[in-house]
Amino acid sequence: MYQEEIKQILLKQHKDKPTLIQKASYDAIRNGASLVGLAKTGTGKTLAYALPSLERVQKGNANSVIIIAPTTELAVQIRHAINPFIHALGLKGVSLVGAGNRKRQEDNLKKKHPEVVVATPGRFFDFFSSNRIKINQIKTLIIDEADDILEFAKLELLSSLGQNLGSDSQVLLFGATDSEITRDAEEIFNRHFLLVDVRNEQKSTTKHYFLQVDNQHKIEFLQRMTKLDHFKGILFFDSNKTMMRFAGIFGHTKTKFELLANEFGKQSREKALSDLASGKTKLLLATDLAARGLDIPGVTYVINFEIPSEPNTYLHRAGRTGRMNAKGYVVTLGDDHDYRDLKKLLADQIEVERVYFAGYHLTTKKPKLKKKEEKKIVKTTVRKKKSKKKRNKNKGYHPHYLKVNK
């Protein structure tokens, strides 16, 4: 399995043992089959489709491998991941992304004649429609995060592209969950597909937790979470509006964080990602749109600010931690109603446990009040009865494990 040049790179990267999806899909891709590959996030899908595809490339055949990714960040990430292998095989590659300089990208296509192109849908179809990339050049069309690509590209364009490829070409669809494009692949692309689904065989080391908190105390909880042992986390929001409003309030605390938002420039987004990866910051605020498919080294916590609306959204977020069998924790914040809704949302897929703060880590054991604390509570209650008129304000719910030593 794999050519010697590729084996040497894998050895240096300590990835010489293929993952389940890599082993299961290699022969089919290498032999030119069209394939739907489904595997949990963080289990080596990029190399699963890229390495056998690169091995099939004929040097000098421009634009023969096209990899389409839904976002600029993911496209750049893929390019970085496969660059060492491209160079080792004596090939050339370019990235075509919406956030990049179009003129420079066009010059790269003209002068380099790259065999491998990694692109976002909009920029790819821009160059394709202007005949800079020709249909007869494409031998392998790869759609990464296929379960989400429809948010970023029209199905008709992808369908037309796939159906007009030559009979000696292949289409590879890779993702973590089922979607319209993976379920109906044969009808959409008018060709036969093999299905390689290893999700049920893949074990996960990620723990899924629920931390009960009302909206009033979410900031306090999040501040405390950043002080947990080995914390490096991504805090997910359902909408950009909610994230920006929260960031405005959270910015007044002493907790350092970065923002990943689409309206920010490319350099700002790259800095946010690199600061989290390098450990300069320990917390990244993001929406699903901005963080789709990202692989940030060492992320130990994924936090849901509110309950995700769909199971697939939850699974994609969860996939940012616990990658390649590392330890990871997914923590969802909310009240009792949210806990019941989350359990319904993930029924038969993931078991979620309640969790509590215990010093600098989380525990599933509910803390017990000490006798001294119980006596204090009794005395306080008595005092309150004596002075009802003076102390009648409701200051909110503060269980003992919320208190932080300042």
pLDDT in tens, 365-391: 988 766 555 555 555 555 555 545 444
List of residues 6+ apart from 204 with CB closer than 8 A? 40, 322
Token pair listed for 201: 């065989």
* pLDDT score for 404: 41
Is the pLDDT assigned to residue 47 strictly greater than 60?
Answer: yes
Q: What single letter denotes the amino acid at residue 340?
A: R
Answer yes or no: are the C-beta atoms of 68 and 146 closer than 8 Å.
Answer: no
Could you tell me which of 104, 96, 102 has the C-alpha nearest to residue 75? 96
Angstrom distance (rounded) from CA 47 to CA 185: 22
pLDDT of residue 396: 38
pLDDT tens-digit series, residues 231-250: 999 999 999 999 999 999 99
Q: How confident is the model at residue 142 (pLDDT cuts 50, 70, 90)?
A: very high
Residues in the chain: 406
pLDDT of residue 381: 52
Tell whether the torsion through CA atoms of 272, 275, 278 and 284 is positive or negative.
negative
Mean pLDDT of 328-341: 95
Token pair listed for 356: 């509590």
Instruction: With both helix axes pointing from N to C terminus, report the angle between 45-56 and 20-30 in degrees, rounded to the nearest 10.
Output: 20
- What does the pLDDT look like over 102-120, one tens digit per residue? 999 999 999 999 999 999 9
What value does the mean pLDDT take over residues 226-233?
95
Q: How many CA atoms lie within 13 A of 314 on its CB side?
A: 26
**pLDDT tier, 400 (very low <50, low <70, confident <90, very high otherwise):** very low
Q: What is the mean pLDDT of the chain?
A: 88
> What's the confidence (pLDDT) of residue 178?
86
Q: Is the pLDDT of residue 406 over 50?
A: no
The reported pLDDT for the residue numbered 147 is: 81
Return the pLDDT at 371: 59
Tell which wins on pLDDT, 18 or 385. 18
User: Under a CB-based contact definition with an 8 Å cutoff, are residues 123 and 97 in contact?
Assistant: yes
What's the start-to-end Cα distance of the chain, in Å? 57
Please give the DSSP secondary-structure letter assigned to residue 229: T
pLDDT interval class at 202 (50, 70, 90): confident
Q: Please report which confidence band the pLDDT of residue 89 belongs to, taking 50, 70 and 90 as the band edges.
A: very high
Looking at per-residue pLDDT, the higher value among 229 and 265 belongs to 229
Average pLDDT of the segment spanning 70-87: 94
pLDDT at residue 295, rounded to an integer: 86
* DSSP string over 35-94: EEEE--TTSSHHHHHHHHHHHHPPTT-TT-EEEE-SSHHHHHHHHHHHHHHHHHTT--EE
pTM summary value:
0.80
Higher pLDDT, 151 or 335: 335
Residue % of the chain over a pLDDT of 90: 68
Q: What is the pLDDT of residue 380?
A: 52
pLDDT higher than 50, residue 403:
no
What is the predicted pLDDT for the residue at 374? 53
| One-letter amino acid of 383 | R
Q: Are the C-beta atoms of 332 and 312 separated by less than 8 Å?
A: no
pLDDT on residue 393 = 43
Q: Does the pLDDT value for residue 180 go beyond 50?
A: yes
Can you tell me which residue has the tokens 């009808």? 187
Q: Which domains does the chain have, with CATH numbers?
A: 4-201 (3.40.50.300), 206-363 (3.40.50.300)
Residue 349: per-residue pLDDT: 84
Backbone φ and ψ for 269, nearest 5 degrees, come out as: -70, -40
pLDDT of 372 reads 57
Pair of tokens at residue 233: 């986390």
Which residue(s) pair with 304 in the sheet? 236, 332
| Weakest mean pLDDT among 55-59, 224-228, 294-298, 402-406 | 402-406
